[in-house]
Amino acid sequence: MTSIDPATGEQPINPLLGLLPPNLTAPEGDGFVSYSVRPKATITTGTVIDAEATIVFDINEPIDTPAILNTIDVDKPTSTINPLAATINEPNFTVTWAGNDNAGGSALASFTVYVSDNGSAFVPWLEKSTLTEAIFKGETNHTYAFYSVAADNAGNVQVLPTVAQASIKVVPKNTAPVLANPIKDLSTSEETLLNFTLPANTFSDSDAGDSLIYSANLENGNPLPNWLSFNTVNGTFSGTPGNNDSGILNIQVTASDKSGATVSDIFTLTVINAVNGNSANNNLSGSANADLLNGFAGDDYLEGLAGDDTLDGGTGRLDRLFGGAGNDTIIDPDGIEGAHGGTGNDTISVTFASSWINSSNTPRSDGKITGGYGDDNITVTMNHSQFYLNLKGDEPTNNALDGNDEITLFGTYQNSVVDLGGGNDIFYGGNGKDSVSGKAGNDLLLGRGGNDALTGDGGNDTLLGGASSDTLTGGAGIDQFVYTNLSDAGDVIKDFKVGEDKIVLSDLLSSVGYTANNPMADGYVRWVAGSGGASVQVDPDGQLGSSVFKPFATLENLSANALSANDLSFKNCLTCQSLFSATNYV
């Protein structure tokens, strides 16, 4: 650089007109010159521009300044947001980014990170930050998109991205599915089609919009047997076990939600060994496991032996069916020569066809149906007006193994003789004449139609004769004689114990519309002397109505003076309320 006198265009002689005017401010003699250099358009990043000055004072030796080197940076830096998960169930999550400047450039100086919420315009989240990661605080059910813009130390700024570099959706936290209702154990038999769909309420998931996919395998992790398939979408098992596929399968069903959370349940599928007869008179036996014995046509002999067996006599009037040990099911559609449950809690259901006759050619099943030991449920349906039935709930001799049996009779018949045996038993009679002995235990005896003879024997028994004229004997213990309808009139109570037994009239009075609490004072009930003993009489509309008292039940060998309101009960029979329901009075 050279000083020029603008007046002459020559170098000035006057030193005060030079490039560096005198500096009289301490430190005297300092000076400076400012200048700018505009690089050419073709210059690339990394090009070095150097500058050096020599100061000449007249005749003094020149003074050389140090060389100044300037590196050119003309390129813009780059940066990007690192990939994010598609979804996350935590509203606060970490966002990371990275960038670079060209080799020879001035290096990165800062990042500005932009965010868009649910598709809105991008706005700065972090400005001129030197960080490369930060925690973003979001909200559930929001989708966030990000991009970054880098700047270098030369002031170059990254070109603004036109699309998001990464995005993420904050979803609600996943709740694992739960077992709402355990799968009940199943049973099927060989060569019988199984088609079972998991109930819709087996598993549940509280997450809105979530769906479950099912899988099934054996409890030990092995696949299901070849004969059994499972639909993973609707949860249906289907297949037909072959003749050699009997046994017990412990099957694990797993429900998985969209997030992979699972819950499982295990149930038992028992494939029963099937033993099939034909139209001849077959002699079939089961095994030590659960069996299905099908007699089909003919007079068959079926014996289940051990295991929870099912015996179906099929057609043929003289089938003999023996359950043996285990909880057996015995069924026959047209009549049998005999049936015996054996030990265990057995179910016996037999229907005698209208044409059925025994081996002596009479419609009589005489002591051939026996529940045996255990809690048995016996149902017999008869269809002949002269039919005679004799059955036993337990073995002939009482035993500690006698169970709590339930016996129900249906249809048309003349007489039944039923020995309930030990235990707390229940008897529902039919339309014939039932002669029932409760034996030991607290029994509930309901005669329903027919002129029945009900005897409680030992225990605290509850007797309801039902329609027609019945003979009721409570036996030992504190017994209840229940009346529910005016049609129950005409009974004889053989052994009413004053001060212990009760005549229960609550349902009867309710049936005639009485709702007060003193029916004797209101003229609905009274004791009178009757033929053969005291009589309880009932007036259906009380002392204010037009009806009159009518004999209802006779208590043999008792004087009316010995009886009082204390021998009557106007409260509901709590022990029989659910059993002697309206449907059982028919």
Structure tokens at 236: 């249906």
Within a domain: 505: yes
Within 10 A of 433 (CB to CB), how many other CB atoms are there? Answer: 19
Element of type H or E holding 510: helix 506-511
Are 185 and 160 in the same domain?
no
For residue 430, pLDDT beyond 50: yes
Are 424 and 532 in the same domain?
yes
Within a domain: 265: yes
Which residue did the predictor score with more confidence, 536 or 5?
A: 536
Are 160 and 182 in the same domain?
no
Structure tokens at 289: 């496991």
Distance between CA atoms of residues 536 and 530, nearest Å = 9
Domain that holds residue 350: 345-577
Candidates 121, 111, 117; CA nearest to 167 is 117
- pLDDT digits 0-9 by tens, 164-184: 999 999 988 889 999 999 999
pLDDT at position 573: 54
pLDDT at position 196: 98
pLDDT at position 67: 85
For residue 20, pLDDT beyond 70: no
Within a domain: 470: yes
Are 96 and 196 in the same domain?
no
- The stretch 202-216 carries a mean pLDDT of 92
Please tell me the least confidently modeled range out of 152-156, 171-175, 207-211, 277-281: 207-211
pLDDT at position 577: 45
Within a domain: 114: yes
Distance between CA atoms of residues 394 and 373, nearest Å = 6
Residues 6 or more apart from 289 whose CB is under 8 A from it? 246, 247, 272, 273, 306, 307
For residue 580, pLDDT beyond 70: no
Are 499 and 379 in the same domain?
yes
Contact assessment for residue 479 and residue 567, using Cβ atoms and an 8 Å cutoff: no
- The stretch 189-216 carries a mean pLDDT of 94
Are 212 and 123 in the same domain?
no
Are 410 and 383 in the same domain?
yes
- The stretch 373-399 carries a mean pLDDT of 94
- The stretch 382-410 carries a mean pLDDT of 93
pLDDT at position 96: 98
Work out whether strand 166-170 and strand 142-152 pair parallel, antiparallel, or are unpaired: antiparallel
Are 412 and 442 in the same domain?
yes
Candidates 101, 162, 152, 114; CA nearest to 130 is 152
For residue 578, what pLDDT band results from cuts at 50, 70 and 90? very low
For residue 584, pLDDT beyond 70: no
- pLDDT digits 0-9 by tens, 446-484: 999 999 999 999 999 999 999 889 999 999 999 999 999
Within a domain: 583: no
Residue 472 bridge partners (DSSP): 454, 493
pLDDT at position 9: 78
- The stretch 113-128 carries a mean pLDDT of 98
Contact assessment for residue 566 and residue 471, using Cβ atoms and an 8 Å cutoff: no
pLDDT at position 1: 63
Within a domain: 321: no
For residue 562, pLDDT beyond 70: yes
pLDDT at position 572: 62
For residue 576, pLDDT beyond 80: no
Kindly report the CATH number assigned to the domain that includes residue 219.
2.60.40.10
Which domain-ending residue is among 249, 271, 293? 271
Share of the chain above pLDDT 70, in %: 95
For residue 210, pLDDT beyond 80: yes
Cα angle vertex 40, ends 35, 44, to 5°? 115
pLDDT at position 540: 93
pLDDT at position 385: 95
- The stretch 50-79 carries a mean pLDDT of 83
Candidates 102, 111, 119; CA nearest to 147 is 111
For residue 585, pLDDT beyond 70: no
pLDDT at position 42: 82
Number of domains in the chain: 3
For residue 73, pLDDT beyond 90: no
Which domain-ending residue is among 150, 170, 190? 170
Within a domain: 28: no
- The stretch 95-105 carries a mean pLDDT of 93
Are 572 and 426 in the same domain?
yes
Are 376 and 478 in the same domain?
yes
pLDDT at position 453: 98
pLDDT at position 397: 80
For residue 19, pLDDT beyond 70: no
Distance between CA atoms of residues 170 and 85, nearest Å = 10
Which domain-ending residue is among 224, 254, 271? 271
Q: What is the mean pLDDT of the chain?
A: 91
Element of type H or E holding 407: strand 406-412
- The stretch 285-303 carries a mean pLDDT of 95
For residue 574, pLDDT beyond 50: no
- pLDDT digits 0-9 by tens, 58-70: 677 888 888 888 8
For residue 245, pLDDT beyond 80: yes
For residue 433, what pLDDT band results from cuts at 50, 70 and 90? very high
Place of tokens 């053989």: 494
Distance between CA atoms of residues 435 and 444, nearest Å = 14
- pLDDT digits 0-9 by tens, 254-277: 999 988 999 999 999 999 999 999
Contact assessment for residue 505 and residue 485, using Cβ atoms and an 8 Å cutoff: no
Within a domain: 10: no
Burial class (CB in 10 A: 0-12, 13-18, 19+), 394: buried
Are 230 and 102 in the same domain?
no
Work out whether strand 426-428 and strand 444-446 pair parallel, antiparallel, or are unpaired: parallel
- The stretch 179-205 carries a mean pLDDT of 96
Are 160 and 242 in the same domain?
no
pLDDT at position 207: 87
- The stretch 406-426 carries a mean pLDDT of 96
Range among 397-406, 453-462, 507-516 rated most confident: 453-462
Peptide bond into 27 cis (omega under 30): yes
For residue 435, what pLDDT band results from cuts at 50, 70 and 90? very high
For residue 586, pLDDT beyond 50: no
- pLDDT digits 0-9 by tens, 530-550: 888 999 999 999 988 889 999
